Amino acid sequence: MTAGTSAVGSQESARASLDEAAVERAAAGVALRLPRSPHRGRLGDVRAASTGSSMELSDFRAYAPGDDVRQLDWNAVARTGELVLRVRHDEVAPRVEVVLDGSKSMAVSRVKASRAAEVAMLVCRVAARQGLEPSLVVTSRTPRRATGAACLTAARAAEADAADDLGAALRRSPPLRPSGLRVVVSDFLFEAPLDSFAALLSRGTSALVFVQLLDGEDADPGGGSGARLVDAETGEVLERMLAAPVLEAYRRRLAEHQALLRRAVARARGTLLTAVADDGLEALWRGALSPLWEPG
């Protein structure tokens, strides 16, 4: 799948006005659906699915390169001759972390850029209303992290101007923090080892949700003469007629990419929610994004 390629007349970098009134209306009626794993300590503390250093033993698994060798079970090694790791649970604060993709593909249309920021704002706003600690990471050309009330300001100012895709941008962005719930907002239309990408985002969180936000032309490009294909990350322009065979090839590649993405997210024990930005925020939170919520 070519990163951020969209069948549009031109790439619009400016974002339309954010509908913060719609964000507030939605936030007033819902609550985040948090993981049902056991918790302890002050209200809202949740236990992470990641390997940790707490005293509670969770499971055993085979050692993998990069694992902490201090967690090796030497009794099991002696018995089996294989490297076996003790897996323990991290105790994490009641934090909700949102990752907002700041790559140029998120700005192929004004509505897509606006809707992505609105979804990030909505998750942070609902988390704050629930007494949780929201945290927002924006992977723009100049990446930044915001926490608490500053998340809304960061979402308003977020720029989709990074020349690399989300997978690459995460390597130069502020490190992800342990959290009870991590929500990643992106179109995920880039070529990357999706299994390792999803596994990276699943580390240190009890629940992982991928919100895939597509522009209408991403999901179903129109045909006709004189169409202008723009690779959002590289700026490469291809002028060609989008005849039926070209459109069919695109749809086939998109379907294959979506299948790979679904499998990668499932292996990471996450949830993939796919939505079309053109539908509007109210339609999205009531429809495609409804698995994120429970009645407020």
- Picking from 143, 190, 181, 186, the residue whose alpha carbon sits closest to that of residue 269 is 181
Residue range 226-232: average pLDDT? 50
SS in 3 state form for 42-69? CCCCEEEEEECCCCCEEEEEECCCCCCH
Domains of the chain: 5-37+93-295 (3.40.50), 50-91 (no CATH)
When pLDDT is cut at 50, 70 and 90, the band that residue 17 belongs to is confident
Six-digit token pair at 51? 């390997």
183 or 44: which leads in pLDDT: 183
| Rounded Cα–Cα distance for residues 134 and 152 (Å) | 10
Residue range 278-293: average pLDDT? 95
| Rounded Cα–Cα distance for residues 197 and 266 (Å) | 12
| Single pTM value for the model | 0.75
- Picking from 184, 176, 231, 253, the residue whose alpha carbon sits closest to that of residue 212 is 184
Residue 8 scores a pLDDT above 50: no
When pLDDT is cut at 50, 70 and 90, the band that residue 87 belongs to is low
| Rounded Cα–Cα distance for residues 107 and 240 (Å) | 22
When pLDDT is cut at 50, 70 and 90, the band that residue 59 belongs to is low
What percent of the chain shows pLDDT beyond 70?
Answer: 75
When pLDDT is cut at 50, 70 and 90, the band that residue 225 belongs to is very low
Residue 126 scores a pLDDT above 80: yes
Cα 208 versus chain centre, distance: 8
Residue 62 scores a pLDDT above 80: no
Q: Are 145 and 120 in contact (CB under 8 A)?
A: no
What is the DSSP-derived secondary structure letter of residue 235? -
Residue 44 scores a pLDDT above 90: no
When pLDDT is cut at 50, 70 and 90, the band that residue 237 belongs to is very low
Neighbouring CB atoms inside 10 A of 253's CB total 13
Residue range 79-96: average pLDDT? 69
Cα 24 versus chain centre, distance: 22
